Amino acid sequence: MATLGGSVADRIAEHISEVTGSPFQIAAQRSVGGGCINQAAKVSGRNRTFFIKTNHVDQLAMFEAERDGLQEMYDSRSIRVPQPLCCGVAGTLSYIVMEWLDLGGGRSGSAWRQMGEQLAAMHRATSDHGYGWHRDNTIGSTPQQNQWCEDWVEFWRDRRLGPQFSLAHAKGGHFSRRDELMNAIPKLLRGHTPTASLLHGDLWSGNAAITAEGEPVILDPATYYGDPEADLAMTELFGRFPNEFYQAYDSVLPIDDGYRQRQVLYNLYHILNHFNLFGGSYESQANSMINQLLP
Write each residue from 25 to 44 as x if it is in contact with ligand ADP (CB under 6 A), else as -, in one continuous string. -------x-xxxxx-x----
**Which residue's CB is nearer to ligand ADP, number 105 or number 130?**
105
Is 137 one of the binding residues for ligand ADP (CB under 6 A)?
no
Is 121 one of the binding residues for ligand ADP (CB under 6 A)?
no
Is 203 one of the binding residues for ligand ADP (CB under 6 A)?
no
**Least gap, CB of 31 to ligand ADP (angstroms):** 10
**Which residue's CB is nearer to ligand ADP, number 66 or number 227?**
66
Is 82 one of the binding residues for ligand ADP (CB under 6 A)?
yes
Residues 209-238 that bind ligand ADP (CB under 6 A): 219-220
Which residue number places its CB atom closest to ligand ADP? Answer: 35
Does residue 10 carry a catalytic annotation? Answer: no
Is 53 one of the binding residues for ligand ADP (CB under 6 A)?
yes
**Which residue's CB is nearer to ligand ADP, number 202 or number 229?**
202
**Which residue's CB is nearer to ligand ADP, number 14 or number 99?**
99
What is the distance between the alpha carbons of residues 282 and 137, in angstroms, rounded to a whole number? Answer: 23
Among residues 123, 175, 168, the alpha carbon closest in space to that of 273 is found at 168
**Which residue's CB is nearer to ligand ADP, number 103 or number 182?**
103
- Strand 197-199 to 208-210 pairing: unpaired
Residues 148-177 that bind ligand ADP (CB under 6 A): none
Give the binding-site size for ligand ADP (rule: CB under 6 A): 18
What is the distance between the alpha carbons of residues 103 and 105, in angstroms, rounded to a whole number? Answer: 6
What is the distance between the alpha carbons of residues 289 and 241, in angstroms, rounded to a whole number? Answer: 21
Q: Which of 68, 202, 220, 231 is catalytic?
A: 202
- Residues with catalytic roles: 202
Residue numbers at the binding site for ligand ADP (CB under 6 A): 32, 34-38, 40, 51, 53, 82, 98-101, 103, 206, 219-220
